[in-house]
Amino acid sequence: MIKGLYTAFTAMEAAWRYQDVLANNIANANTIGFKREIASLAPQPDVPISQQAPVPAPLTARIQAVIGQIGTGKFVAEFATDFQQGMLRQTGNELDLALTNGFFAITDEAGTRFLTRDGRFSRDVEGSLVTSAGYYVLGEDGQPIILPPEPVTVTPDGAILDAAGNELAGLLIRDFAPGQLERAGEAYFRPVDDAPGVPPIGGPGLRQGFLESSNANLIEELTSLLAVQRTYQANQAVLARLDTTLDQAAGELGRL
């Protein structure tokens, strides 16, 4: 019975943590460049079931024979980011940029560098290329990019050209293995151990006038959330029933 309590509790804890992940994915289903989180569930170690049997001996003795295994529930082993590309949505805006590979390198005023797939860029009052949050977009030289007031063209490899076709700057675009990045915001990431990253293999495949949507599918996330909630409720009912049974058993034993 105690094993049953533990099994129900661990299943409830896993469902509760997974529910938080799904709720965050749903909240960011419309966030540009957002990458959904997924939870990896793993089973708790099984516990052997033993049967005691009397054996002939000068003194009363019993031996134990293992007759099977019993599961003790699941737990959330780890959370991971799903870096699959979201759908590209055409906006036609000059400084809306979307990537097929890699990440834009950006920096805040304190000099902290981040990576993002959120390509909602614009000019600030000084002509610097900035994100929707006001962070500076970095060029290949690691410095903020200054743009002229006239319209510019951005090539698929990240080169920024003026109206005459002269190259003004090149966007700093780097690719990373999934384990080299940690989340630093809704659509921002930070390299682990200051990993430098590498130029995307085959090029960044940049699209001007497009934005990358969140890769969280609202219907799929809601369906998963309902399933997780049912799992939580079922184990909650089991836990309540076992608690009542245990209370009754303790009461009966106390009267003996």
Q: What pLDDT sits at residue 114?
A: 95
Read off the pTM: 0.76
- Please answer whether residues 14 and 235 qualify as being in contact, where contact means their C-beta atoms are separated by less than 8 angstroms: no
Position 235 confidence tier, pLDDT thresholds 50, 70, 90: confident
Give pLDDT, residue 245: 72
Dihedral sign for Cα 154, 158, 160, 165, please. Answer: negative
* Main-chain phi, psi angles of 205, to 5 degrees: 60, 45
The answer on pLDDT for 130 being more than 90 is yes
> 208 or 233, which is more confident?
208
pLDDT band at 230; cut points 50, 70, 90: confident
Give dist(CA 7, CA 130) in Å, integer: 51
The per-residue pLDDT for range 84-115, each reduced to its tens digit, is 999 999 999 999 999 999 999 999 988 899 99
pLDDT digits (tens, 9 = 90+) for 41-87: 666 556 555 555 555 555 445 555 555 565 555 556 577 899 999 99
Residue 127 pLDDT exceeds 90: yes
139-196 pLDDT tens trace: 999 999 999 999 999 999 999 999 999 999 999 999 998 889 999 988 999 998 888 8
CA atoms of 190 and 209, how far apart (whole Å): 26
Which among 95, 100, 86, 41 is positioned nearest to 187, based on CA atoms? Answer: 86
What's the mean pLDDT in 19-25?
90
Name the nearest CA neighbour of 191 among 108, 131, 103: 103
Residues 153 and 209: their CA atoms lie apart, in Å, by 10
Which pLDDT band holds residue 228 (cuts at 50, 70, 90)? Answer: confident
Q: How far is CA 150 from CA 92, 123, 136, 166, 172, in A?
A: 16, 11, 19, 13, 22
pLDDT at residue 68, as a whole number: 58
